Amino acid sequence: DIQMTQSPSSLSASVGDRVTITCRASQSISTYLNWYQQKPGKAPKLLIYGASSLQSGVPSRFSGSGSGTDFTLTVSSLQPEDFATYYCQQSYSLPYTFGRGTRMEIK
Amino acid sequence: QVQLVQSGAEMKKPGSSVRVSCKVSGGTFSTHTITWVRQAPGQGLEWMGRVIPVLGTADYAHNFQGRVTITADKSTTTSYMELSSLKSEDTAVYFCARPADRGTFDIWGQGTKVIVSS
């Protein structure tokens, strides 16, 4: 199985900050990497697919990059509604494994 | 648009089984797989398996092999996830999800809470 390692596991930031989350795959997954946002008590929401494509309806302050084994999710200017947990997930091969999540909290 | 609506919360005894349903409305049922993901309290997301309705076949994560069965009923456009030999560690919220493409999940059910307790 492909292991997905996210860092940091949590971070504190302020509204307006630029933040970056990293995800590393245990083997090359090309650009088969997706990012999700999850708020308490809710289902995950797809933000980025194919490593860098913005899902319809997602604000442009979210962006993704990377290929192979190393990927990043960047939020250019944090808004109050962005404080949530973020997960990366590989869709290269079964089982489609997730990272352990990055919890983003208000500083 | 496509919606996934799951069955209600369940409370089960250790050693028993649970079956959770996921009704798909809108779109074409057979042309997309249905995946099941679970989330234990305070934990991350865990891919459990998927069903391919057009083939009637399923793939499972190693952690659940032998204990989970995922099926799809084309006549009712519903997927089912049955987990047997329940343990307290199976207490979690179980989600179904449908991929836009391959393993990219753009549509999710609301989640079903399963509590396993004696």
- Contact across the interface for B45 and A101, Cβ inside 8 Å: yes
For residue A32, give both structure tokens. 């088969």
Asked if residue B107 has pLDDT above 90, the reply is yes
Length of chain B: 118
For the segment A16-39, what is each residue's pLDDT rounded down to a tens digit?
999 999 999 999 999 999 999 999
For residue B107, give both structure tokens. 């549509």
The amino acid at A56: S
For the segment B10-34, what is each residue's pLDDT rounded down to a tens digit?
999 999 999 999 999 988 888 899 9
CB atoms under 10 Å from CB of A30, counted, come to 14
Q: Which of B44, B62, B97 lies at the smallest CB-CB distance from A101? A: B44
Our CA-based measurement puts residue B105 at a distance from the nearest CA of chain A, in whole angstroms, of: 7
Q: Which of A55, A89, A95 lies at the smallest CB-CB distance from B61? A: A95
Asked if residue B94 has pLDDT above 90, the reply is yes
Q: From chain A, pick out residues whose CB is under 8 angstroms from the CB of B38.
A: none
- Dmax over CA atoms of chain B, in Å, equals 41
The values of phi and psi at residue B64, to 5°, are: -115, 0
Length of chain A: 107
